[in-house]
Structure formats: structure tokens, C-alpha cells
Amino acid sequence: MLLLTSSACSHSPAPTPPKSGLQPQTEASKAATSPALSGRWWRDDVFYEIFVRSFADSDGDGVGDFNGLTARLDTLNDGDPNTHGDLGINGIWLMPIHPSPSYHGYDVTDYRAVNPAYGTMADFERFLAEAHKRGIKVIIDFVLNHSAKDHPWFKDAMASKTAKHRGWYTFRDAPDPRWKRPWDGGQVWHKTRTEEYYYGLFWSGMPDVNLSNPDAAEAMVSAMEFWLSKGVDGFRVDAVRHLFESEAGTLVDQPESHAFMKAARKRLATKYPDALLVAEAWTDSQTVAEYFGDHGDEFQLAFSFDAGGAMVTAAKDGLKVTMAQFTQTANEAYSDRGFEAPFLTNHDMPRVMRQLKGDAAAARVSAATLLAQPGTPFLYYGEEIGMQGGASSKDEDKRTPMRWTADAGYGFSTGKPWHEADEAEGVDLKSQRKDPNSLWRLYRDLIRLRQESPALSDGRAEALPITGGGRGTFALLRQQGSERVLFVANYHREAAASFSLKLAGTPEVQLQEGLGKVASEGGVLTIEDIGPQGFALIQLR
């Protein structure tokens, strides 16, 4: 039997000390291979994050849907390596697809159904089949930490202290314990009409599910198995730092959270050994690394928020220091940097092009840096064409509809899009496919180069010391076996003077922008100059 320690938070009524909430192991599962030893298909993939509501609308109601997504798959990967009109990604992460009262979907009302605004289950299954036909893996958001307050479970829990689902959530009698939300000090205990309080970390509309309750835990993990049985390839697990909380009001990174995910991973692996779990743990690299588990037995990937911050800061400031510091810290934090999922920005952040204030050269060097990183990179839809989104800090402005064309409705919808924002001329896929120097073409070429190179897709990474070059020049060596690929970048807005590094081999430039002459002699590689915000990928023979 898999065991999890009970959360210290009290419930009404108080449960007996729970077991894992997961089904006992069968003889077959006991003999199964350790999940850490299963296939690592994601190691040479590049993922693409999609907000279905904003990607492609097939029926003109202004809201994106599964059929629209299916119709646009060939732009992401048409399944034919000999064509060049697709971006070339081979993994998709869908933001929440479940029924929800909100536009974003992170408050779920049914974990085994799809949002009717996006279509039917049959529509989703068709999308999944078409993606797989093209060699694209699909993971979906799974909101394990909390449900919607409109979920039937919570409605039942609120009905009485003896309700079936009462222990699936956490209640307390008055007074308010006055715990504070870690990132902004907001309230986390919410008053009911009966002088009680329930726990909801993010807001009152998202009560936390009590995963120490065995029935609640079973319902959640069974729902994950439901989607895997449909053919989904894994999950991005939301808010993993907050699954459990202590009696003292510590709301992050509890041992019970790790224990729960290890048990869930082991359970899922008995039938689905290649299912991918990606952790959303918004914190520093040292803490994120703990979600890999003791022996790689928890999550296979975790988003690297430090990587995104370092890359965007380097491109904004024109200095290499953040990239050099991040690389050193990450190499110390992770025993295997293949655990990282680097990205520039996601749906919770202002888009990278907005942060860069429309600086096209900075966006290009950011893209090159991302796709030179170890781990499994994630792109945010529209990033590849330089979308900025809206100017406000509202989340809706970070999640505006995809720009397919410059026409009315952006090629997204024949009706009025659910949310709109201005974009610069040329920020649409149709225009950029025609432009040989477009950002989209750069992303396409970088992705293909990465996928053809074992060193770039799964090699170790080392930041190299440079002699000369100035404060903006950075060098990262990727190596897998005998293959070595050197990434060099000048983040500064002025050209870098000649610089050198100790590295033997005959250089062969694979992709470059603004690179001067490259020479190798006596175990020293010299680059005469590299232009403002220039970069290169150089293979060493």
C-alpha cells in the first residue's frame, strides 16, 4: 500500500489518519519498472503552450475551440520532415480544457469532461488523434490543488458537516486563523454563512482540495488515469508547491506534497510508464530541483522560472551576468539539467516582446538563447511571431488571440474575438512565413537545428570563461558524447570586440547572426567580432 502523511490542517469532521488515497498496488504493479527508468521521449522535444480560447475559432463565436486547433496543427507540425512551412514543435501543452465558470479554466467543475465552449469530447479526441498522427505529444493542465467553488463536491461539502464530501475540503470554526498567502499576504481562509471558514489559497472561488483525504486523492488520481486512457501523454500539474500546508500556516513545499506526487507518479506508471508530469513550482532553481524527487521518482520536468528571468534580463540589460550566474546555479542545483523546462514567458507574465519593448534584435537573441538551453524548452503561443498582447497588467491581456493574418479577426475568428489587443504591422503568421528574415523563421530554424543535434537536445551544459568581448558576451558549451555545440551571444547593443576561449576543434557555423570570423588554433577558439545582439551556434569537429 502506498502511504501519504496526513496534512496537519484540521477538517470537520476529522478523518482517521489517511493512507495515500490511491488504490493498493497489484502484483503486476509491484513488478513494474521504476518510473524513473521509463522512456524519456520529451528529452528532444520542443513544447508549445496553447490557450485554446485564444488559438483558433472554427465556428465564428469569437472563442477558440478544439476544431480550430485541429485545423491549425499543420502550422505547428505537419508530420513531414521534408516540408518547411511548419514551426516544427513536437509537443503541445493545453491550458485547462475542463468545464469552468471562468474564462481561464483554473477553477474546474468536472475533472472528467471538456469545456463545452471548446467543443465536445469527440472534438477533443479527434484533435488528439490528429496531433499524434503528426508526431505531436499532448499534455494538458491538471489543477490538482483546488477545484471551483461551483464543483458538485464543494457544494455538497458546504451543505452540512456530515456531507459525503465534507472531508474533501478543509474547514475550521471561527476565529479566522489569519494565515497569509505567501506571495502577497492575501487572505486564504474564507468565511461561510455559518461562522465557519474554508481554506482556499488562491481566492474564495477556488477552495483547496484536501488531498490527505483518501477519497479525494483517489478521485483526483483516477481522473488523471481517465485522461491517460484517452491518449493524453501527460500533465502540467498546477501549483505543486501548495498541495499540502502545515498546521503552523506554512503553505509551500511541504513534505506531504512530495510524498503525494511520488505516490501518484508510481500509481500512474503502472499502466502508463511514459506519462509525463511537469511541475509548475514558481520558485528558485534549488527548490525546484527538489521536485525531481530522490531518484527521479516525482516529476520528470519542472519549469525553470530562473532560466526565463535570466534570459529576458540579459536581453533587456545587454549584459551576460544573469546568464552566467543562472548557469552556474542551475548546474549546482540539478544533478540532471534535463529535468528543466526552460521558457521565456508564459500565460501569467507579460509577453517577452512586451518586456523587451518591441526590440526585435533582443527578441531574436532571446529565442536563440532559449533553444540553446538544456532540458525541454516551452514556447508560448504567439511568441514565435513577436506578439506583445495587451498593455494592461490583466491576465486577459497576456492571453490575447493568436494572429494568423493581418485581416479583420486576425484569421482567428470570423466573428468578434473574445478579447482584442493591438499588434505592430507584420505580427502575424502569414506575413512572417513570407519574410526570409522573420522571427518565425528564426524559431523554425532553431527548433530544427536543436532536434537534429543530440548535444543541443540532451547534452550537458557549461558556461565557458571568455577572454575579451566585453560585458555582453556569453558562451555556453553543449556536449553529448563526442558531439560539441558552442552557443555564443552578445547581448549588448554594441558590437563586441574580438574574444577567445580555450576550446579545441574545427569550428563549423550552423546558424549565426552578426558573427565575424571564427578561427581555431592551439586549442584556442577566437571570434574576431560579433555584432550587436548577435549570436551563433557553432559545431566543433
Residues labelled catalytic = 238, 280
3-state secondary structure of 276: strand
> What angle in degrees, to the nearest 10, is found between the helix axes of 360-370 and 439-452?
10
DSSP 367-402: HHHHTTSSS--EEETTGGGT----SSSSGGGGSPPP
Burial of 136 (0-12, 13-18, 19+ CB in 10 A): buried
- 382 near 398, Cβ under 8 Å? no
Per-residue DSSP letter, 187: B
| Residues in Cβ contact with 319 at an 8 Å cutoff, skipping those fewer than 6 apart | 471, 472, 491, 492
**What is the C-alpha separation between 88 and 420, in angstroms, rounded?**
27
Query: Strand pairing of 499-502 and 524-527?
Result: antiparallel
Calculate the CA dihedral of residues 534, 361, 512, 474 and round it to 10 degrees: 40
Closest CA to 314 of 332, 327, 330, 329: 327
**What is the C-alpha separation between 81 and 91, in angstroms, rounded?**
15
**What is the C-alpha separation between 523 and 343, in angstroms, rounded?**
34
**What is the C-alpha separation between 21 and 267, in angstroms, rounded?**
11
Per-residue DSSP letter, 5: P
Q: What is the CA radius of gyration of the chain?
A: 24
SS3 content of the chain, % helix, strand, coil (to 5): 35, 20, 50
Residues forming a β-bridge with 475: 488
Helix (H) or strand (E) holding 116: none
